[in-house]
Amino acid sequence: MASSSHLISPIADRSLAVTRAPRLSRAARLTIYLIDGMQNRKAGWGRALLDGAEDVLTRTCVATFVRVERPLGSPSFSEDPAWARGLVGRVDLLIEAVGD
């Protein structure tokens, strides 16, 4: 039997302070690319994540959303600097869902 009625919580007290990304301007119309870079795109996880991101962003800024279909077998966006360079000046925000 425990000798005390006080328990030490095993849960972490806090998360690290995270530096927030610059906020998007509400006034300007932004071009936002949404890329499904999940390993198994057929499972639909990436699409669901991007749907959620678009839903949130639609409520916080004026934007044109572009779903980017990259062919299966191509490297993910973050691994393809040549493709990424081609986006400079055309995109205000790029969101990629990655994982397995």
Partner 1 sequence: MTDVVDVTEDDLIERCYEAGWTDGLPVVPPTAERVASMVMASGSVATEVVTHLGPSRVPATVEKIAANAVMAGCQPAYFPVVLAAVRALAGNSAAVTIHSATPMLIVNGPVRNQIGLNSGSNALGSGNRANATIGRAMQLVLRNIGGFRSGGLDAATLGHPGKYSYCFAENEEYSTWTPLHVDRGYARTASTCTVYLADAPLCIAHMGNTAGEGILATIADALPIAGTYNMYYQRELFIVMSPEHAVLVASDGFSKRAVKEYLFEHGRKPAGSLLGKGMFGLGPKVAGPEWMRHVDLDPSTRIPVVLDPERFTIVVSGREIGGYSAVIFGLGDSITVPVGG
Residues near partner 1 (CB under 8 A) are 2-16, 18, 39-40, 72-73, 75-76, 79-80, 99-100
Specify whether the CB–CB gap between 65 and 56 falls below 8 A.
no
Burial class (CB in 10 A: 0-12, 13-18, 19+), 50: buried
> Which of 8/88 has CB closer to partner 1?
8
Question: What is the C-alpha separation between 81 and 90, in angstroms, rounded?
Answer: 15
> Which of 40/64 has CB closer to partner 1?
40
> Which of 75/86 has CB closer to partner 1?
75
- One-letter amino acid at 85 equals R
Q: Least separation, in Å, of the C-beta of 86 and partner 1?
A: 18
Q: Least separation, in Å, of the C-beta of 77 and partner 1?
A: 11
